[in-house]
Every structure is written in C-alpha cells, then in structure tokens.
Structure 1
Amino acid sequence: MSTTLPPTGPPLPTAWAADPYANALRTGRGPLFLRRADGWLLPLDVERWCADADAADLSALRRCEGPVVDIGCGPGRLVAALAAHGHRALGIDVSEAAVAHTRRLGGSALRRSVFDQLPDEGRWGTALLLDGNLGIGGDPGALLRRTAALLAPGGLLLAETAPEDVDERVQVRLDDGREPAVPGPPFPWARLGRPALLRYARLCGWRPTDQWEADGRPFVTLRLDRTVRTTSQSADSVNSAAVIRSQFPRNLSGDIPAAGS
C-alpha cells in the first residue's frame, strides 16, 4: 500500500448516502434521476445495476487484467461477477447501502471516495469506471489522474462513456420523481462522450487501446503509460508495483464466460 497520501479531491458526497439512492438500491428499482438546476433529468438505471452482470458488462470484464478496483461499484454486480470466478476485486462506493449490497452478493467493498486513501495504491491491474462513473467529482482530468495513481504502471482502465458526443460539467441533485420533490444536496457531476474522454485521457498519460459498443453502451479501454508518475506514487512504490504486476494474469478472457455460455 502506498505510504503517500493521495491528492486532495472532492469531499465525500453525502447525496449518495441520501434516502432516494439507498431506497432504490434496497428495492432494486427506480425511478431515480440526476436533476440539473434547469430541470433536465438523467435517468439512472437502477434495475440493471441491481441485476446480474449482463452481456455488455461481461464484454468489459473479459478484458480485465490482474486485481480489479471498481470505482463507484454501486450494488456490486461487477465485483460479484469477478469474485464468483475467483478473481480479486474490490468495490468502492460512498454509499453505505451500496457497500452493504455488494457484500451481500459475496463481493469485497469499502465505503470510500476514490479520492480517499485506498488499499494497494499503485498495484491494481485494472480500474473500472462504468455506469456513468466518469462523472464522479465533476472533474474528468482529476478523476483520470487519481485513477492512474491507483494502478500499476501499464495498468488498464475500462470506461463507459455517454452514447452521445458530450463534454459537460454540471451541478446535479438526486431525484426520485416523487411529488412534492425533496431534493438532496447538489454535487458536481460530469458527462463525457467517447471523443471527450479520449481528449482528457491523452492529456493525463493514458493511451487508448480498444473501443467497442455492446447493447448500445460505448466502452473504451485505456492503457497507463509505464513512464507516468503520479503524486501518490513514490519511486519505491512504482518499482514494487511493476514487480507485482508482472505476476498478474494478463486477462480474464478464459474465465468470464460469454453471456449464454
């Protein structure tokens, strides 16, 4: 585990611990939205999050390498799918309800922000930013740099982008669609399409290696430049991570079955 504190990031967003989100995860269904100040609503796919990993999810999980950290794991379907096939995976989420749900599924999870100190910094093989989690913190550059600090040199990021070409940073609130509305506190969020993600990624030392679409969901894999040094990685931790990563299995393609297999 890195002995250097991670970069300062956004505070733990209490909105994700608020009742609308916790209630949706407990019941396994929405409606649940992110609401902008102008009234625009982004539906959150609670039912899919609370179901088993689907074919689109598995198309990403088969590309994972080594130990996996799922950033914003939600109710834990991805962590559980990896754990069920014997792979080391850790979910992190700011929601107590999400962490509890992940653990009930048999996955490992911690209630942490990605900007908190995390186990094994600089040693993870793969990071996941799926289900809109590129929006975390409302600052894509900061999130990508922080994710780089978690991974071993040459590590892999699997990201899911918005289906449209968008590059948006906004303040949003959780909204469960009930009347009268009881909005939670505002928090920063971002939405990135694939072109925007690739622009930010190149500036942060990531190299795109694959792009695909499954069930209408666009995915990108990014490889961390082996020469990148981050503020939370000392020279010793980078060297140690490189040695440890050499012992990782290269991918999970032989272990995560295709849907229907």
Structure 2
Amino acid sequence: MPQVSAAGTGIDAGAAPWLCDPYSQALSSGRGPLFLRRSDGWMLPLEVERWCGGTDAADESVLERSEGDTLDVGCGPGRMVATLTARGRRALGVDTNPVAVSRAVEGGARAVCSSVFDPLPGEGGWCTALLLDGNIGIGGAPGDLLARVREIVLPGGLLIVEAAAQDVHERVTVQVTDGCGDPGAPFPWARVGLPALRRCAGSSGWTWTEAWHVHGRRFAALRAPR
C-alpha cells in the first residue's frame, strides 16, 4: 500500500476532526496504536488493524442483512465497500479523511471524500446505509445524525448501526492520539449503547427491527418510514 499523508493532499490537517497526523499515519501504515482521548485522560482504543483488514464474521453479519445499493458512512479504508463491490453490489463509501478514501479506492472500493452532512451522490435513493465502527458518534449528536441519514436512504430504506458494547449514552469531547506525539484538534463525539440507540431511533422516526451481536460487537437494524 503506497504511503499517503494528509499533507500531500493540500488539506490543513488541523482544520477538521479526523484529519490529524496520528489518524492519517495510522491509516497509511495500517496499524495503531490509536485512541480517542477524552479531556479527563480516559482513552478508547481504535481498531486500526481491523479497519484496514478484510471483513470478519461480525462484518459479514452486516453484509448479509444489507439490501441493494449500500452507502457506508465513515467508511475508513473501505473494507465493507470493497467486499460489496467484489460481490457485484453497488456500494459507495463516504469519509472526511483523504488518506482513508485513497486507501479505500486502491483496495477496490468506490469512495468520496465528504462529510455525511454535505450533499452526497445518490442522496435519497440508497437502499441501505451503514454506521459502523462507532460512527453513530459522528458530530456528537446521534439524533441529528439519524435524522440526516433518513434523508439519504429511500423511503423504507434500511440503516444498520453498530452500537457501543456497553449500555452507555454520552456526548464527549475527544482528540485522536497515538499516545506519543501531539494529538489532533478536539471535537464532539458520542457513544451510544443499544438501549440509548433504540430511544434515539424512535425519536428520529426510525422503526427498530432487529438487534444482534457477534464476537462482542453489537448491531441494530432500523427501517425508515415509507
């Protein structure tokens, strides 16, 4: 995998979350350590090696349930999109980090460098959207994110969300760090367990259809109104 840096893209790495050097360097190398660090010093390990690898049994449980054209929000290095594409499915990844998007494309995925809150290709026509690997935390406001994804999928569309392993519902300010060098800029993030996700889904107009877990990872399938 060629080494790609945020600096090489012409983007100011300090201008937005997930564009800091520790994150881009971890994606480029395909390995950590990497953490989300809270202001009180608590750190959440990020599974860079898993993100940069192939799909595992938990991922496959998601792919088996996905329907039709699929949009992966916060796709990272694109393992889910690449797998769907290799199986003849139409899929697109969206990520704000250009290193992630570059790696996804090199791995056979179709991906764009964009925020989920920006206009997206095929908006309103996706059969399935994915929010995996903690991406329900994007923006620190799960209700707003779920409302936005309702605009992206078609009426009656499917959303598969990966929840936190713990029964938690918190909005925090975090920084991406490798535990050694300077961390990235602070930004809001959320952690949501299944009970809190169910409440957020209901208040955002989604219908809860199923929850399951594989190898310690927890998921829920939500259905948009028709």
Alignment TM-score > 0.5, same fold? yes
AA matched with 1:200: C
C-alpha separation in 2, matches of 1:30 and 1:177: 10
Cα shift at 1:120: 1.2
C-alpha separation in 2, matches of 1:145 and 1:15: 21
Cα shift at 1:213: 0.5
Render the CA deviation track for 1:44-83: whole Å, top value 9, x for unaligned: 0001000001111001111111110000000000000100
C-alpha separation in 2, matches of 1:167 and 1:101: 32
**Alignment of 1:150 onto 2:157:** no
1:123/1:151 contact within 8 Å kept? yes
2:137/2:189 contact within 8 Å kept? yes
Cα shift at 1:121: 1.1
SS in 2 for 1:177: coil
In structure 1, which of residues 20, 29, 35 is the aligned counterpart of residue 37 of structure 2? 35
* Runs (5+) with no aligned partner, structure 1: 1-11, 227-261
Which 4+ residue blocks in structure 1 deviate beyond 3 angstroms? none
Q: Provide the residue aligned with 2:16 in structure 1.
A: 14
SS in 2 for 1:134: helix
Q: Give TM-score, length-normalised by structure 2.
A: 0.93
SS in 2 for 1:173: strand
Render the CA deviation track for 1:98-141: whole Å, top value 9, x for unaligned: 00000001110000000001011110000000000000000001
C-alpha separation in 2, matches of 1:146 and 1:13: 23
> Would you say how many aligned residue pairs link Structure 1 and Structure 2?
213
SS in 1 for 2:156: strand
1:13/1:94 contact within 8 Å kept? no
Q: Provide the residue aligned with 2:116 in structure 1.
A: 114
Q: Provide the residue aligned with 1:64 in structure 2.
A: 66
C-alpha separation in 2, matches of 1:13 and 1:92: 18
AA matched with 1:205: G
C-alpha separation in 2, matches of 1:47 and 1:219: 20
Q: Provide the residue aligned with 1:191 in structure 2.
A: 191
C-alpha separation in 1, matches of 2:183 and 2:217: 29
C-alpha separation in 1, matches of 2:164 and 2:15: 22
**Alignment of 1:85 onto 2:87:** yes
C-alpha separation in 2, matches of 1:192 and 1:49: 20
Q: Provide the residue aligned with 1:245 in structure 2.
A: none
In structure 2, which of residues 25, 28, 50 is the aligned counterpart of residue 26 of structure 1? 28
2:22/2:183 contact within 8 Å kept? no
C-alpha separation in 2, matches of 1:182 and 1:122: 40
Q: Larger Cα Rg: Structure 1 or Structure 2?
A: 1
Alpha-carbon distance change, 110 to 13 in structure 1, aligned in 2, over 3 angstroms: farther
RMSD (Å), alpha carbons: 1.1
Q: Provide the residue aligned with 1:182 in structure 2.
A: 182
SS in 2 for 1:62: helix
